[in-house]
Amino acid sequence: MTELCTGYYSPKQLFMRIRALIMLAVAGLVFISFISGSTEPDMGLKIGDRAPKIVASLPDGTSFDSDSLKGKMVLVDFWASYDAPSRIDNHRKTMLLERFANSEFLNSEGFVIVSISLDRFKTPFYKTIERDNLFDFYHICDFEGRESKLARKFEISNQMTNFLIDGDGRIVETSNDLDRIESTLHRMESVDRTRFAAYRR
C-alpha cells in the first residue's frame, strides 16, 4: 500500500516511524543517564564502562587503591622500559601531566597518571623512571611482565594501551595514541560543567 494523500501512511510506514521515534527516545535516555551517573555502568574495558579497580603496591611499599583517585581524571598507562614506543612517549606523558594536572573536566578535577610497567627486571625499570624523569607518576610493577594480574585484567596483549578514566570511574578513551588521549582531555576540559548541573541533582 502506498501513500494515498499527504499525511497518510500505510500501517507499515506508521510502524517504522513509531519505532524510529522510540529508538531515538531510548538513545536520549541512555545519554542523559550517562551524563547524570544515575545508572551504574557495567565493569569493562570499552568507552562508557566502569574501569576495573586497581589495587597494588607502589615501589616504596605504599598501598595503592584506584578508589583513592575518585574525582580525578586518570590516565592508566601500560608501558615497559624495553618498549621503544613507550620510551618515546614518556616525555609526552610528562608534558600532559604538567599541562592538565590542575585542569577541571566534566566529572573530574585534576589529572594524574597511573603508570603500570610490564617489566620483569627491577634495574631497567628504576633506571628508566630516573632517566625519563617520571617521578610524578603513580608507578606499579609486579615484575611478572605480560602475565601480571593487571595486564590480564586490562587485556593487554601485543600493544601497550592507555585508558583515560574520569572522576566517576568511567572509561572515556582507550588508545595507544597520545594524540587521541590529549584530544579527549581538551574536549572534556572544554565542556561547560554548569550545562549538565541540572542532570546531576
Q: What's the whole-number mean pLDDT along residues 94-99?
A: 97
Residue 101 covered by a domain = yes
Residue 9 covered by a domain = no
Backbone angles phi, psi at 156, to 5 degrees: -85, 120
Q: What is the pLDDT of residue 178?
A: 96
Residue 104 covered by a domain = yes
Q: Where does residue 100 rank: exposed (0-12), middle (13-18), buried (19+ CB within 10 A)?
A: buried
pLDDT tens profile 42-81: 899 999 999 999 999 999 999 999 999 999 999 999 999 9
Q: What is the CATH number of the domain that holds 74?
A: 3.40.30.10
Three-state SS string across the chain, please? CCCCCCCCCCHHHHHHHHHHHHHHHHHHHHHHHHHHCCCCCCECCCCCCECCCCEEECCCCCEEEHHHHCCCEEEEEEECCCCHHHHHHHHHHHHHHHHHCCCEECCEECEEEEEEECCCCHHHHHHHHHHCCCCCCEEECCCCHHHCHHHHHCCCCCCCCEEEECCCCEEEEEECCHHHHHHHHHHHHHCCHHHHHHHHC
Residue 185 covered by a domain = yes
Residue 31 covered by a domain = no
* Domain count across the chain: 1
CA atoms of 185 and 182, how far apart (whole Å): 5
CA atoms of 201 and 75, how far apart (whole Å): 27
Q: pTM above 0.75?
A: yes
pLDDT tens profile 170-183: 999 999 999 999 99
Residue 120 has pLDDT above 50, yes or no: yes
Residue 8 covered by a domain = no
Q: Which domain holds residue 137?
A: 49-193
Residue 199 covered by a domain = no
Q: What's the whole-number mean pLDDT along residues 18-38?
A: 53
Amino acid at 181: I
Residue 112 covered by a domain = yes
